[in-house]
A and B are shown apart, each in its own frame.
Chain A
Amino acid sequence: MSDLHTVNKSPLEKNALDSCLRFATAGSSILLIEDGVYAAVKGTAVEGAIRGALGKHKVYALGPDLKARGMKDDRVIDGVKLVDYAGFVDLVETHGKVQAWL
């Protein structure tokens, strides 16, 4: 089973997303949570990085965190799938282990 990477910080505040993308093997999945969900939104300086990532990884974002931040679903980059906390649990179950990029 491939790994699940979690990224919880905003891509413009910290380099967690950058490092995650640099060290994530192809086929592993990335879940954006908390402030990390801003990376899932169209039009940011990291949109290209996320689109690039979608070529090698499944990318997910925690829906409740986007909603809390006023980011509506139609602002999410195509291909990024939204999950809720139950979905987060399922992702942990269906992947080998979790790597947390704090």
Chain B
Amino acid sequence: MSEIKNFLYLNRRAPYGTIYAWESLEVVLIGAAFDQKVSLLFADDGVYQLVKGQDTPGIQMKNFSATYRTLGDYGVRYMYVDRKSLQDRGLTEDDLMQVAWEDMESDDAVDNIVEVIDSAKAAEVLAGADVVFSF
């Protein structure tokens, strides 16, 4: 019998300039098979990972942004975005993609699990996790 832990993936880096954003997503996808409670927190440049309209043929790198939209199917219920990080970057919630979630058993559904939160709430989310993955 394995206990269920509260996993928090801390994403603080922009996509494409380094591989951390993509390779951290790969952990989330594989992690789905382990049935833990999973949340993601996007802070600092990590908020750029969720920006809509990524268009990569010009740099010939794989556009992995569509993967975020599938995270609801991979056991992710919460995708938190730090408000101050958005503001510091001239971004608003409108710049971010929406991610739908549905509970297969209860038919509970949420149109968009991307939630902009303030520092205090982010601190709570981090403190409440059992494990924090950093990339």
Contact = CB atoms under 8 A, between A and B. Distances in A.
Direct contact of A and B (CB under 8 A): yes
Given A3-B127, A15-B44, A19-B43, A99 B132 contact: yes
B112 to A, nearest CB: 23
Interface string B1-30: 000000000101000000000000000000
Contacts of B135: 102
Nearest to B41: A23
A19 B122 CA distance: 11
A19 B130 CA distance: 20
Q: Which among A15, A23, A98 has the greatest number of chain B C-beta atoms within 10 A?
A: A23
Interface residues of A, number: 15
A44 B127 CA distance: 29
A23 B134 contact: no
B129 interface: yes
Given A100-B132, A101-B134, A102-B134, A22 B124 contact: no
Contacts of B119: 22-23
A101 B13 CA distance: 11
B97 interface: no
A23 B132 contact: no
Given A19-B43, A98-B132, A25 B127 contact: yes
Nearest to B5: A97
A23 B131 contact: no
A102 B123 contact: no
Contacts of A24: 123
Given A19-B43, A23-B119, 13 more contacts: A16-B12, A19-B12, A22-B123, A23-B43, A23-B123, A24-B123, A25-B124, A25-B127, A97-B132, A99-B10, A99-B126, A100-B132, A102-B135
